[in-house]
Structure 1
Amino acid sequence: MSRQIFVDRERELEFLERRYSSEKAELIIIYGRRRIGKTELLLHFAKDKPYVYFLATEKPYHENIRDLQRLMAEFLGDPLFSRISFGNIDELLMAFAEKIGDERVVLIIDEFPVLIENYRPVLSLLQRAWDLKLSKTKLMLILCGSSVSTMETEVLGYKSPLYGRRTGQWKVDEIPFFNISEFLPSYSVENLIKVYGVVGGIPAYLLQFDPEKSFKENVVENVLSKGSYLYEEAEILLREELREPANYFAILEAIASGRTRFGEIVSATGLDKSLVSKYLTVLQRLGIVEREVPITATHKEASKRGLYSISDNYFAFWFRYVLPNRSHLEAGLAEEVWERSREDFDAYMGTVFESLVRKPGVFLRLTGFRFTKLGRWWHKNEEIDVVALDGEEERALLVEVKWKDLTAREARGILKDLERKAELLRLDSWEKRYGLVAKSLKGKERLRVKGWLVWDLSDFESLLSRSISKNSLLSSGTNLGL
């Protein structure tokens, strides 16, 4: 199966087009985890513009530079340019800038961290070229990289030779949930949320799922089956990105097994506290792990009450269902593993559904409630899934999220208990509203008539339909005034 889908990325494209239209020299940094769709984004942006796209490889540094030189010669239509001997990348870039003169050209250097790894002086050489020549041209130079740690420290960091030279940067994230349907247009909202729980919003992973096959078939064939693209992807990514993958594995295994407090992770891994702290920081920077604190916690409380979770859904699923079942999966028992895991998967989806509703864009579209702060609250054995605070108006919306089919009576019980828990939040003078999001909710309209705020997957379906309509209008060129 081979499919090519370019989805969403409106904000990213708008950012790039704005920088392109400046008609000034631009040094743009684009980065984000592997498989997130950076290359597709940049090629989509550049397709109707004069551009040179170069992908750095593991070849020796000077061979990479010669490859870049050949691409520049092809762009210029000047075979002689490829025969000039350039000592380094700074000389090559300045010569190219001289050749294009006042023309607006996009030069994309993809996987820039590979060049840094092969030849560290490349950063200083690039700084020299920018200061002496490139900054005085109309060249739009884009440096792109998948190694988030390298891009943030070596390229964007304060100690980088390029510090202060960049004119813009963008970290590319997963596509929004409501765009996932463009990969799997025949899937119900419930199945789209399940897909989101397995692979998140990573375009390359979504492309592995065949829209003609059921959710179960896709999971069994494309994630749980040995030899499939997603079967070893987590290991490959960690080995590519990190120097000590075994220690990161141990930490992620501990979190996936329910050790969410710092002390619990230290005990489970047997690693030194300082090392665990360092590794967790790296995993947070990569977007694989997040640390949450109760939304109403003071600064002092926040330092002690944080809980860690695997925020990347693909990694969360992989460490929960692939790694622990490796022996059976290696033996070709993917379907048996899935059937045995289905009950636990429902519990897992409860956590996924909560985190989805807590996504700012999803929560705002679903509830219409504007907030200055959004998160979760817990204290001892009490917990509220979603707390939205509007600090300016002193209003709060408290919401419970259940991946279950509920009756009106069950819903009223949950909402009444939510009112009780609200008293523990120390928001006495605030106006408080209470809500519930469920998989399905019988008597939903009757509850709404009585003033309760309730939603279920049919409301997600409505939002999805609107999103599809909007995207259809955008792709057809209709002006929405957005």
Structure 2
Amino acid sequence: MGRQKFVDRERELEFFERAYSSGRAEFLVIYGRRRIGKTELLLHFARDKPHVYFLATEKPYRENLRELQRLLAEFLGDELFGKVAFDDVDELFMAFADRIGDERVILIIDEFPLLVEHYRPVLSLLQKAWDLKLSKTGVMLILCGSSVSAMEGEVLAYKSPLYGRRTGQWRLTEIPFFYLGEFLPGYTVEDLVKTWGIVGGIPAYLLQFDPRKGFDENVVEKVLSKGAFLYEEAEFLLREELREPANYFAILQAIASGRNRFGEIVNATGLDKSLVSKYLAVLQRLGIVEREVPVTATLKAMSKRGLYSIKDNYFAFWFRYVLPNKSYLEAGLGERVWKHSAEDFNAYMGSVFERLVRTPEVFFRLTGFRFTKIGRWWRKGEEIDIVALNEREKTALFVEVKWKELREREVRGILKDLERKAKLVGLDEWEKSYGLVAKGIKGKEGLREEGWLVWELRDFERLISSKLQL
């Protein structure tokens, strides 16, 4: 489709602008998973400012160095600079520093981990150039990378030669839900929620969906069709980011099939406990998997009662609907697979909708409740979808979430049962409130007049149109 879209990112742009106007040399580290929009953000920020953008590639280090030198010479408007024989990147950067002096110049090194992978000394050489020259100029150096593990382990970690040099860092995350409508104008709020359940807030994935086509048609064409960008993206990402993708695949398959406890994952995969523990830690760090504990759990209980789930919506959907149906999808039966998945997808959306409502910015905008802690609660077969706690004021809001159209009588039953379950949580001296979020609620206004806290998708429409700020 070739659509280009720059949506939201106000906070990130404010962060960059503050650094740009600081009047000192800046060394920023920007990272985040692939397709999250890092390059577009950086180029958007730098577009009207003096800048050099360099994208590292899989080419040998020396070829990357020559390309970087060519770009710096082009920026300086100096052909001779491009012909000087620099032995290494430190000499190149120090010579560039001498040329720019106090001039404010943004220097973006994108996919920096590729340089490190091909030539590890680049870390120490960059440290040398920064300490001796760059830190005394008007440069705004930005290192950017898609490999979260490499950026955290090689650039930000204590053992890194660059440790202590950075003046700021930002891990780029997904576009908030309330901005999805800008990618898909004309979509109903229900279709936006379902789209979020499949691709989350990843800009590159949202751009795959054609706003001129219906939700189901987009799912079949863009995710469930061989050759489509989102058909094999999960496999590509795991191979790119991880050294032993087969083991990670096995763990994600186990979680997607409902094995949520550590012991269940170990039994399902047949892998050693220590390996599973290590792999789960990596998947958590990458933001693909999350480990939840009851929101009121003590530190001692937290180590025993954790449940694992796939946090990344695209991976959750892919492992539930693409991978198990690969043989059918390879045969071009995507439409049939999707038709047969309708009932299961509705169940899947139940957990997706719950997770969306539990997202801090969504929950606060919807309810107006100021909390210090938010999460699920469960014990001995009893469960509450959302418990939001304000530990300073000793107030709590208990909320159930249903991906259903509910009648007034059903709502009353759910809320009465929620009051019962809330007593099991404890918090006896706290002020408690009770609420329900559903796809639709008949008799909502009457329930609200009685003091019940109830919200439906129409309330999301109001929030999407107003885009209230936190």
- Please, what TM-score do these two structures have when normalized by structure 2? 0.99
Please state if 1:270 is matched with 2:303: no
What's the counterpart of residue 99 of structure 1?
99
SS at match of 1:7: coil
Deviations 1:423-453, CA, capped at 9 Å, x for gaps: 1101111010000000000000000011100
What's the counterpart of residue 368 of structure 2?
368
Amino acid paired to 1:224: L
Amino acid paired to 2:334: A
SS at match of 1:309: strand
Structure 1 position 102, deviation (Å): 1.4
Structure 1 position 389, deviation (Å): 0.3
Amino acid paired to 2:148: V
What's the counterpart of residue 479 of structure 1?
none
Deviations 1:83-111, CA, capped at 9 Å, x for gaps: 00001000000111111121100000000
* Aligned pairs for 1:23-42 within 5 A: 23-42=23-42
Q: C-alpha separation between the residues in 2 aligned to 1:21 and 1:273?
A: 50
* Aligned pairs for 1:75-474 within 5 A: 75-467=75-467
RMSD across aligned positions (CA)? 0.8
Q: C-alpha separation between the residues in 1 aligned to 2:344 and 2:370?
A: 34
SS at match of 2:341: helix
Q: C-alpha separation between the residues in 1 aligned to 2:331 and 2:14?
A: 48
Please state if 1:9 is matched with 2:33: no
Amino acid paired to 2:56: A
SS at match of 1:106: strand
Please state if 1:58 is matched with 2:64: no
Q: C-alpha separation between the residues in 1 aligned to 2:192 and 2:331?
A: 29
Amino acid paired to 2:291: R
Q: C-alpha separation between the residues in 2 aligned to 1:196 and 1:227?
A: 22
Deviations 1:99-130, CA, capped at 9 Å, x for gaps: 11211000000000000000000000000001
What's the counterpart of residue 47 of structure 1?
47
Instruction: State the identity as a percent.
Output: 77
What's the counterpart of residue 475 of structure 1?
none
SS at match of 1:68: helix
Deviations 1:387-418, CA, capped at 9 Å, x for gaps: 00001110000000000000000000000000
Q: C-alpha separation between the residues in 2 aligned to 1:449 and 1:18?
A: 46
Deviations 1:176-227, CA, capped at 9 Å, x for gaps: 0001110001000000000000000000000000000000000000000000
- Contiguous gaps of at least 5 residues in structure 1: 472-481
Query: 2:198 touches 2:313 (CA, 8 Å); kept in 1?
Result: yes
SS at match of 2:371: coil
Q: C-alpha separation between the residues in 1 aligned to 2:225 and 2:33?
A: 24
Structure 1 position 256, deviation (Å): 0.2
Structure 1 position 253, deviation (Å): 0.2
Deviations 1:27-49, CA, capped at 9 Å, x for gaps: 10000000000000000000010
- Contiguous gaps of at least 5 residues in structure 2: none
Structure 1 position 23, deviation (Å): 1.5
Q: C-alpha separation between the residues in 2 aligned to 1:2 and 1:49?
A: 26
Q: C-alpha separation between the residues in 1 aligned to 2:261 and 2:174?
A: 26
SS at match of 2:454: strand
Structure 1 position 6, deviation (Å): 0.2
Query: 2:100 touches 2:137 (CA, 8 Å); kept in 1?
Result: no
Q: C-alpha separation between the residues in 1 aligned to 2:283 and 2:20?
A: 33
Deviations 1:119-149, CA, capped at 9 Å, x for gaps: 0000000000011111111100000000000
Q: C-alpha separation between the residues in 2 aligned to 1:13 and 1:106?
A: 14
Amino acid paired to 1:444: K
Structure 1 position 2, deviation (Å): 1.1
SS at match of 2:138: coil
Q: C-alpha separation between the residues in 1 aligned to 2:27 and 2:393?
A: 41
Q: C-alpha separation between the residues in 2 aligned to 1:444 and 1:136?
A: 62
Moved over 4 A (4+): none
Q: C-alpha separation between the residues in 2 aligned to 1:436 and 1:185?
A: 28
Q: C-alpha separation between the residues in 2 aligned to 1:341 and 1:420?
A: 35
Query: 2:259 touches 2:265 (CA, 8 Å); kept in 1?
Result: yes
Structure 1 position 299, deviation (Å): 0.4
Deviations 1:366-389, CA, capped at 9 Å, x for gaps: 000000101100012110000000
What's the counterpart of residue 478 of structure 1?
none
Q: C-alpha separation between the residues in 2 aligned to 1:23 and 1:52?
A: 19
Deviations 1:250-302, CA, capped at 9 Å, x for gaps: 00000000000000000000000000000000000100000000001000000
Aligned residues: 470
Amino acid paired to 1:147: S
Q: C-alpha separation between the residues in 1 aligned to 2:379 and 2:346?
A: 25
Amino acid paired to 2:405: D
What's the counterpart of residue 476 of structure 1?
none
Q: C-alpha separation between the residues in 2 aligned to 1:422 and 1:16?
A: 44
SS at match of 1:268: helix
Deviations 1:293-318, CA, capped at 9 Å, x for gaps: 00010000000000000000000000
Q: C-alpha separation between the residues in 2 aligned to 1:138 and 1:274?
A: 48
Q: C-alpha separation between the residues in 2 aligned to 1:74 and 1:351?
A: 52
Q: C-alpha separation between the residues in 1 aligned to 2:108 and 2:408?
A: 56
